[in-house]
Structure 1
Amino acid sequence: MHSCGNFDLPQKYHIDNKLPQLPADVTTQGYGKLPQMFMCRVPHRYTTRHFRKGLFVKWPKYIDLILKYAEKQNFEQHLRCEEAKTDAEKCNLSFLVLPFLFPPGQIRGSKSSKSRYVRATVQEASASFIQRREIGTNIPQFLEENRHAQPFVLALGNRMLLPEQVFVIVEQCTIPCSDLLQGVDRCFKLIYILDVEFPWECQHVWDFLQKCMFKLGEGKGRDSSVPAVTLLRNFLENQM
């Protein structure tokens, strides 16, 4: 680990290894310190103007536009859910549709693989971003069976658009969140704090959030975004 102010941040790890131990400031209910720890990970020139507002202020301005764009992309063929009526339901739906607006990620295949690259399915891309489970899910068993190396969001509830509990999952750790907005915000910041790569299955979702919402043009992942990310960015910027 290396020190950043009052925080000890883990060094970068290889994707095939276990995640480094979470900083004590996170595991001892110090979730309010995540923004400060996050700022230690990004170039200094980004930490003053763009991060003061954060996702909580920016995202609500884009919700209706993202849902409008998603309808044009016929997201309903992949995500069947009830109609979003309240502001909270629309906000949650705007996150759930993201994996269906971009192509699933791909990763270089193994030597024994017939294909040079292996592409995820849209369902795999969605699950690596936000997993949905019913209330009553055995969380200890869920954590034991978790095979995702990078952080992701877990939403518990019998209604897709209004989960009763939201967590960020980091291997065997659960970090409680008030809603999906906070869950996505904390998940993104944890990816930076732990200095891990974006989950490859939904890498374009995080690339969009990174460059469009957090304005980190030189962040993780691809130097240049796939066309679908650029199209959505341009659509939002032209409508604002």
Structure 2
Amino acid sequence: MVESYWEVTTKERLNDLASKNMTISNYFTKYKAINLSGGIYLLLMDFKIMYPDYGDKFNENWPLIKSKLISIAKKKGLINEIDESNEEQTDLAALTSLPFSMSTSNVTSTKKATKKTQWRPSKREVLEGFITQVASPAEVAVEITRKRDKLMEMDLQMQPFVIAVVSPNKSITARYIVINNITYEMPTITKAVEACLKAIFVLNAEYPKESRHVWQFVQTVLFELKTKYDKSFTAVNTLISDLGIKT
């Protein structure tokens, strides 16, 4: 029933998203179905309509890119002990190596640039803007609040991001996407990253500023998706070259 309603309202909703007056918060208020636990799958339906040629690109490209990322990360000493037989553990290792395989850049808030509003995130902070890791489910809500408060202090809005519950032995026990204060649980870490980028595109959201180059890599390399709004990052181009990838 919800899916049928979503299909019927496609034209109206996409027009709303194209409007400059429609914020993500207002969109979630107007279309309450996406506030439900399965709401992320409604956004994925929209991505399939908006970008029909890119729905499966991530899954097609991930195995090869994952192998290359792990190889480079091992050479750089970024990956220590991982269980090679645990697919999701190696997925997480490859994904979380990205922030440490690229240089960072300054982040400026929407206010007039001053010393106070300039922030050069550490690679650990870049990782948190891409995939935040906590040790227990009880820490998820606390971490979301901490992140929101930190960004508010710098006059930055919290954009969609991924959060994973990772045990001391590196096993992932839960994975979530956080959008507009709604937490969606996902089946795997790769599904979480894939769905998060798709949701960002559908909602006309922005990449988290501290990790925008990492998300740009995911978009360019794994989705093979280019737009007129893309920002060129030297760090991304360098990593693409190091990986021997043609884009």
TM-score bin (small chain):
0.7 to 0.9
Instruction: Assess if the C-alpha contact under 8 Å between 2:47 and 2:55 holds in 1.
Output: no
Question: Which residue of 198, 201, 204 corresponds with 1:195?
Answer: 204
Matches within 5 A, 1:70-85: 70-75=73-78, 82-85=81-84
Residue 11 of structure 1: aligned partner: 17
Matches within 5 A, 1:197-212: 197-212=206-221
TM-score, with length taken from structure 2: 0.76
Task: Give the SS at the match of 1:203.
Answer: helix
Q: Cα 1:141–1:116, aligned 2, differ >3 Å: closer, same or farther?
A: closer
Aligned-partner Cα distance in 2 for 1:66–1:119: 24
Aligned-partner Cα distance in 1 for 2:191–2:143: 21
Matches within 5 A, 1:34-183: 34-42=43-51, 47-48=52-53, 51-75=54-78, 82-86=81-85, 87-108=87-108, 110-111=111-112, 113-114=114-115, 117-147=118-148, 149-159=158-168, 161-183=170-192
Instruction: Assess if the C-alpha contact under 8 Å between 2:44 and 2:199 holds in 1.
Output: no
Residue 11 of structure 2 corresponds to residue 21 of structure 1: no
- Deviation, 1:171, is 3.4
Task: Give the SS at the match of 1:165.
Answer: strand
- Deviation, 1:96, is 0.9
More helix by share: 2
- Deviation, 1:178, is 0.7
Aligned-partner Cα distance in 1 for 2:113–2:216: 29
Over residues 95-132 of structure 1, what are the superposed CA-to-partner deviations in whole Å (9 max), with x where a residue is unaligned? 11111112224223654733784321111111011111
- Deviation, 1:62, is 1.8
- Deviation, 1:236, is 3.7
Task: Give the SS at the match of 1:128.
Answer: helix
Instruction: Assess if the C-alpha contact under 8 Å between 1:197 and 1:220 holds in 2.
Output: no
- Deviation, 1:188, is 0.4
Q: How many residues align?
A: 223
- Deviation, 1:149, is 1.4
Aligned-partner Cα distance in 1 for 2:220–2:239: 11
Instruction: Assess if the C-alpha contact under 8 Å between 2:88 and 2:189 holds in 1.
Output: no
Residue 231 of structure 2 corresponds to residue 230 of structure 1: no
- Deviation, 1:220, is 4.3
Task: Give the SS at the match of 1:89.
Answer: helix
- Deviation, 1:187, is 0.7
Instruction: Assess if the C-alpha contact under 8 Å between 1:143 and 1:171 holds in 2.
Output: no
- Deviation, 1:156, is 0.9
- Deviation, 1:160, is 6.3
Q: Give the letter aligned to residue 191 of structure 1.
A: I
Instruction: Assess if the C-alpha contact under 8 Å between 2:57 and 2:224 holds in 1.
Output: no
Instruction: Assess if the C-alpha contact under 8 Å between 1:13 and 1:195 holds in 2.
Output: no
Aligned-partner Cα distance in 2 for 1:115–1:228: 25
Task: Give the SS at the match of 2:17.
Answer: coil
Task: Give the SS at the match of 1:91.
Answer: helix
TM-score, with length taken from structure 1: 0.78
